[in-house]
Amino acid sequence: MVGPVQVHPQNGVAFTDVCEAQLRPLYVASVGALDPGPGTRLLHVGCGTGTALELAAQQGAEVAGLDASVELLKIARDRLPDADLRVADAAELPYDRGCFDQVMAFDAIQYTEPPAVAVAELARVTRPGGSVVIGLWHNWSGREASAFLNAVRGLVPADDSQSQPVRDLYRLREVMVEGGLDVYAFAEVTRRYDFSSLDDAWRSMTSSPNVARAIDVVGMDAAHEVFMTNFGNQRRPDGSIQQDNLFQYAVGRATT
């Protein structure tokens, strides 16, 4: 049994070492799709420790970011001391209309209800003709991870949401259109990630808001038991765990 692990967003070190390493191929592809040039005003909503912003800054973009986690932003500020980084909620962005050329969000809008409201906020702060890229980890990435996350959702009471969850590219594109974006590009990115141990795989899973909520409701031990049911027999001889990831993203143009 692993010891107590603080769930995201508090566990900034684990998020940096494991989760953002997993997400990096999605960040690279999405920044490549935006192709920000020198002077491009770019915002990352849910910027975490700043990995994606760093990629954009390397292309000359003037970057800004926000996140709900003070701890993750401390790491981002060390990486990007000149960036405008703020603690804020994705559902109500603290920026004027049309003040950015490009906006990014990854695994962020899914947890705002309804998600189209969060997309509308991304569109609002993007200048007309500017681009918004939204990416997600596909719900069916890796058999064990999908089975675990579906089981974890069953541990907590159903919420009162009337919206269909955003778990795949089809629904993502629908929500982007509902939020006022003209979707003009989309793609998938696959990547295998090797966790060095069961502990690393567990830390990655606890960064999911779904898992965090389950831990709050049923406790760490119950959530970890479900994790072990799905992952405990997957250890390879060297102790590592292999995870196949499918990421998807779409790019939309702000029209107003």
Question: Cα–Cα distance between 152 and 206 in angstroms, integer?
Answer: 11
For 18, which DSSP code? I
DSSP string for residues in 42-58 = EEEET-TTSHHHHHHHH
Q: For residue 187, tell me if it sits in a domain.
A: yes
CATH at residue 176: 3.40.50.150
Q: For residue 231, tell me if it sits in a domain.
A: no
pLDDT value of position 7? 34
Residue 218 pLDDT grade (very low, low, confident, very high; cuts 50, 70, 90): confident
For 254, which DSSP code? E
- Total domains in the chain come to 1
Helix (H) or strand (E) holding 238: none
Residue with token string 């719900």: 139
Residue pair 235/168 in contact by the 8 Å Cβ criterion: no
Res. 176: pLDDT tops 50: yes
Q: Is 182 left (phi over 0), alpha (psi -120 to 50) or beta?
A: beta
Mean pLDDT calculated for residue range 133-142: 77
Question: Cα–Cα distance between 251 and 118 in angstroms, integer?
Answer: 15
> Comparing C-alpha atoms, which of 199, 207, 219, 201 is closest to residue 156?
219
Q: For residue 166, tell me if it sits in a domain.
A: yes
pLDDT value of position 210? 72
pLDDT value of position 3? 35
How confident is the model over 23-48, as pLDDT tens digits? 899 999 999 999 999 999 999 999 98
Higher pLDDT, 115 or 161: 115
Q: For residue 42, tell me if it sits in a domain.
A: yes
Give the predicted TM-score (pTM) of the model. Answer: 0.84
- In which domain, by residue range, is 64 found? 12-139+161-192+245-254
pLDDT value of position 45? 95
Q: For residue 152, tell me if it sits in a domain.
A: no
> Is the bond preceding residue 114 a cis peptide, omega within 30 degrees?
yes
pLDDT value of position 6? 35
pLDDT value of position 179? 95
Q: For residue 76, tell me if it sits in a domain.
A: yes
Q: For residue 250, tell me if it sits in a domain.
A: yes
Higher pLDDT, 45 or 210: 45
Q: For residue 153, tell me if it sits in a domain.
A: no
Residue 139 pLDDT grade (very low, low, confident, very high; cuts 50, 70, 90): low
Coil vs helix vs strand at 36: coil
> Is the bond preceding residue 81 a cis peptide, omega within 30 degrees?
no
pLDDT value of position 10? 44
Mean pLDDT calculated for residue range 159-170: 75
Question: Cα–Cα distance between 151 and 193 in angstroms, integer?
Answer: 22
Residue 170 phi, psi dihedral angles, 5° rounding: -60, -50
Residue 161 pLDDT grade (very low, low, confident, very high; cuts 50, 70, 90): low
pLDDT value of position 1? 34
